[in-house]
Amino acid sequence: MALFAAKPIKKEDYYTASQLQLVWARFKKKKSALIAAFCLLFFVLSGVFAPFLSPYAPTAAGRNQDYTNGAPQIPQFCDAKGCSARPFIHKVERHRGVETNFRWVTKQTDKRNYIVLLPKSKPYTMLGIPLSHRLFGVEEGFIHLFGTDATGKDIFSRTLHAIGISLAVGTVGVLISFVLALVIGGVAGYFGGWVDTVLQALMDTVKTTPTIPLFMALAAFIPDEWSAEARFTFISIILGLLGWGTLARRIRTHVLAERNADYVLAAKLCAAKPAHIIMRHLLPSFTSYIIVDLVISFPYMVLAETSLSFIGLGLKDPVNSLGVLLQNVTKVDVLLNYQWYFIPVPIFVAIVLAFVFVGDGLRDAADPYSEHRK
């Protein structure tokens, strides 16, 4: 058995291993999926702990008025005056004079501004816990690892918060579509007949309509005066409402295939109700497939949210998401002069890729026949 190639394990361990152990053992073998899983964990953690990890608030409250559209400041150890063990950035200075045509410009000076760990900041809350220190900062003034946007907001802080928000929208959306798929797919498969036909027609229709235009039509209902939280909830619900088609179809097929099995008949003879049979007997037989499907559909939720926010129909400032961050980048001015607006893009591509690889790895790991193929 090549299953536990790393350490010699007795054959009976394989037969007594639980479903979870088997899946994990197969998952571990695929290097790309394992690396992707660690990346994903890293991103999730940085999204969850964004308030602590980012040096400033991502909203107008944390903006640096003296450094708008500022270039990224990369910490360095050496400059013309020599090297130091502590990383530092150079201070900037606002200056106006004849040579600048009497406009304010930001100029770099050669004064050093050392980076400090756990500086005191304005009080904020993370996961409900009030805190007053951030992970890092500088001795005085501001540090902007990814630069700043047109209003002086720190792009690094915004990116971290955007990761958290995008993952949260995706999670809520996936959960909603999961519940819908479970109910609709389960009912269609279990009862069959005309119920199945009607629900199938509904699934087909939802699948035929172009989703993003439908998303847009739904999102257009959001009145402008809604709060950021209400908007967030509504967008997640929309994503969930339109994303259940594929999973529902899969659940239906499984239930349809299983509903004549002996154990279902046994449950029926014990006078179990349909809801009980579907939830307790039928669904557990393919939990792993459902989980895999959810992981695979996750990046699509995130991307749909990004598209919606990007065209201005999804989330809005002060809530950050990738789409919100990218709202203003199509201007020629930005394209030519402020390319650091694009730094969040590769990060998000990496997150989606991580999801895709983990989903692929999980799919292969959950399939007990994957090893016997080829």
Q: Which of 9, 48, 216, 272 binds another protein (CB under 8 A)?
A: 216
340 near another protein, judged by CB under 8 A: no
SS3 assignment, position 109 = strand
| Cα–Cα distance measured from residue 311 to residue 327, given in angstroms and rounded to the nearest whole number | 7
Q: Report the nearest approach of another protein to the CB of residue 251 (Å).
A: 20
Residue 190 carries which side chain, given as an amino acid letter?
Y
| Cα–Cα distance measured from residue 369 to residue 358, given in angstroms and rounded to the nearest whole number | 18
44 near another protein, judged by CB under 8 A: no
Task: Name which of residues 80 to 99 contact another protein (CB under 8 A).
Answer: none
306 near another protein, judged by CB under 8 A: yes
| Cα–Cα distance measured from residue 162 to residue 155, given in angstroms and rounded to the nearest whole number | 10
284 near another protein, judged by CB under 8 A: no
Ordered DSSP codes for 33-47: HHHHHHHHHHHHHHH
195 near another protein, judged by CB under 8 A: no
Task: Name which of residues 217 to 276 contact another protein (CB under 8 A).
Answer: 217-221, 223
Any idea what DSSP says for residue 121?
E
For residues 53, 306, 175, 35, the Cα torsion angle rounded to the nearest 10 degrees is -60
Nearer to another protein, 21 or 328 (CB): 328
Q: Report the nearest approach of another protein to the CB of residue 372 (Å).
A: 13
| Cα–Cα distance measured from residue 341 to residue 326, given in angstroms and rounded to the nearest whole number | 7
Q: Which of 102, 210, 229, 260 binds another protein (CB under 8 A)?
A: 210
202 near another protein, judged by CB under 8 A: yes
Nearer to another protein, 137 or 344 (CB): 344
What are the φ and ψ backbone dihedral angles of 362, each rounded to 5 degrees? Answer: -65, -40
What are the φ and ψ backbone dihedral angles of 86, each rounded to 5 degrees? Answer: -95, 135
132 touches 121 (CB < 8 A): yes
Q: Which of 307, 317, 343, 367 binds another protein (CB under 8 A)?
A: 307
342 near another protein, judged by CB under 8 A: yes
177 near another protein, judged by CB under 8 A: no
C-alpha torsion sign, points 125, 130, 132, 136: negative
Q: Which of 65, 108, 209, 370 binds another protein (CB under 8 A)?
A: 209
Q: Which residues bind another protein (CB under 8 A)?
A: 201-202, 204-205, 207-214, 216-221, 223, 299, 303, 306-307, 310-313, 326, 329-330, 332, 335-336, 339, 342, 345, 349, 352-353, 356-357
